[in-house]
Chain A
Amino acid sequence: MPDLFSKFDPVIAQREALLESGITDPFNLVMEGVESPTVAICNGRRTILLGTYNYMGMTFDPDVVAAGKKALDDFGSGTTGSRVLNGTYVGHKAVEQALKDFYAMDHAMVFSTGYQANLGVISTIAGKDDYIILDIDSHASIYDGCALGNAQIVPFRHNDVEALEKRLKRLPPEAGKLVVLEGVYSMLGDVAPLKEMVAISKQNGAMVLVDEAHSMGFIGEHGRGVAEAQGVIDDVDFIIGTFSKSVGTVGGFCVSNHPKFEILRLVCRPYVFTASLPPSVVATAATSILKLMNSAEKRAHLWENSKRLHAGLRQLGFTLGTQEPQSAIIAVIMPNLETGAAMWEALLHEGLYVNLARPPATPAGMTLLRCSLCALHSEEQVGEILGMFAAAGRATDCIS
């Protein structure tokens, strides 16, 4: 009998080789306790969290936690149903209203995860004879949305305005087109030139979808994301976002001003054929979103943290994913997976958690130590973090 698992042998071999060196498995970390958005207990040790995407630190906000507890008491632990059957409670409508208020848009649709939001919207709105034009460094959920649908897929070089324009101009003018972009690309933490790209897309008759998962709550005057910061949010047709980063819980959404948007609730399979979010989750999300509307001071502090960590790591001699800090993600580029894993483990021993990212998730086959800052990291913590990077970097010969 052919073993269907044979195809995984190369991955199994690579993983075994890595673990044979005696290194802690970077993809099997367990947090025994969580003290706050910035500190957890890992292997019995107090660990600063620098890889959680918990940008605005809402996970322990007293109002957010209280709203969740109340909803758990009032509505129970789960809906046990699809949004289109028995799975829409007042809380689901309330969180959609909170999103409409947050983005100042006409429509909001909440999915059970951010992954499903991309999967659902992209696969549903682009049909067989339509074209999806996407940045090659797009998130897996975007590619999977393309794979689930049957549109024609046209990738273009990362953040390359000219490459996008050339491809748009080569497509049949009468064909339906959806350009898919991200505000912040999560691997290197770089921002898209949305101002130029959105304008070019519109000039060439394309609708535009922007995934603002890593910018919501932080970038833009009202925290609406990179499209807001670059002044083109009114020309974006669909914004995809998530509750599992700045909002601090789990879930995904799409907001839009498209007049026919609501029909998606009936035709979008990843929305229809799954259970809706538990009442406690939508209650925490709604409370968090409304608080994020008035968080200018936290946003300013998060920028300070990002600038300081970026400058400090460069000074120590690390190679970073961007020349200047563009978001709350700072990616430290490692020479290879072995060194990356050793550095990751050394940081963990110092008491610091970052994400180890490797191919195929990363662009150009890079191994990255991805740091995501939180608005609740104190000045002292950022100082401690830099000290830990210095010690771990020297211990693993990453820096001199």
Chain B
Amino acid sequence: MSDRQEIYSETLSLVEPFNKKGVAITEATRFAQDLEWDSLTVLDFVANVEDEFDVIITMNMQAEIETIGQLVDALVRLTDSRA
């Protein structure tokens, strides 16, 4: 699953259940400002992403990730390094 487009669409489907405001999602969508997720929502979402891709996204890494695109980039790196 190292194809970026595939990871992006998988990420979108994981965002959907938490997208309570129905925000239109692009790579530039920001988790805090645009989706208005609080820290608890972020924790739940990250746990789902970790399980789906079988990776660890440490809180240190999360601090650097602000947008959907940045998350997808991180997932590409993480899944690549495993393969």
- Least CB distance from B32 to A in Å reads 14
**Contact across chains for A157 and B60 when beta carbons are under 8 A apart:** no
**Contact across chains for B56 and A171 when beta carbons are under 8 A apart:** yes
**Contact across chains for B47 and A163 when beta carbons are under 8 A apart:** yes
**Contact across chains for A167 and B56 when beta carbons are under 8 A apart:** yes
**Contact across chains for B56 and A157 when beta carbons are under 8 A apart:** no
Interface hits, B1-57 → A, CB 8 Å? 38-40, 43, 47, 50-51, 54-56
Instruction: Compute how far the CA of A108 lies from the CA of B23 in the bound complex, rounded to whole angstroms.
Output: 53
Instruction: Compute how far the CA of A363 lies from the CA of B58 in the bound complex, rounded to whole angstroms.
Output: 20
The residues of B that contact A154 with a CB separation of less than 8 Å are: 56, 58-59
The residues of B that contact A166 with a CB separation of less than 8 Å are: 50-51
Contact partner, A170, options B38, B40, B54, B60, Cβ 8 Å: B54
**Contact across chains for B59 and A155 when beta carbons are under 8 A apart:** yes
**Contact across chains for B43 and A136 when beta carbons are under 8 A apart:** yes
- Least CB distance from A171 to B in Å reads 6
**Contact across chains for A153 and B59 when beta carbons are under 8 A apart:** yes
Closest to A152 in B: B58
**Contact across chains for B59 and A156 when beta carbons are under 8 A apart:** no
The residues of A that contact B38 with a CB separation of less than 8 Å are: 365
The residues of A that contact B56 with a CB separation of less than 8 Å are: 154, 167, 170-171
- Least CB distance from B36 to A in Å reads 13
Report if A360 contacts B (CB, 8 A): yes
Report the contact-size class of chain A (Cβ under 8 Å from the partner).
Answer: 10 to 19
**Contact across chains for A152 and B51 when beta carbons are under 8 A apart:** no
Interface hits, A335-394 → B, CB 8 Å? 360, 363-365
The residues of B that contact A146 with a CB separation of less than 8 Å are: 59
The residues of B that contact A153 with a CB separation of less than 8 Å are: 58-60
The residues of A that contact B39 with a CB separation of less than 8 Å are: 360
Contact partner, A152, options B40, B47, B60, Cβ 8 Å: B60
The residues of A that contact B60 with a CB separation of less than 8 Å are: 152-153
Closest to A153 in B: B59
Contacts A163-B47, A365-B40 known; 7 new A-B pairs at CB < 8 A: A154-B56, A155-B43, A156-B47, A167-B56, A170-B50, A170-B55, A363-B40
Identify 13 residue pairs between A and B in the complex whose beta-carbon atoms are under 8 Å apart, listed by A's number: A136-B43, A152-B60, A153-B58, A153-B60, A154-B56, A154-B59, A167-B56, A170-B50, A170-B54, A171-B56, A360-B39, A364-B40, A365-B38
Could you tell me which B residues sit within 8 Å of A by CB distance?
Answer: 38-40, 43, 47, 50-51, 54-56, 58-60
Could you tell me which A residues sit within 8 Å of B by CB distance?
Answer: 131, 136, 146, 152-157, 163, 166-167, 170-171, 360, 363-365
* For the complex of A and B, 7 pairs with smallest distance between CB atoms: A153-B59, A152-B58, A170-B56, A136-B43, A154-B58, A153-B58, A152-B60
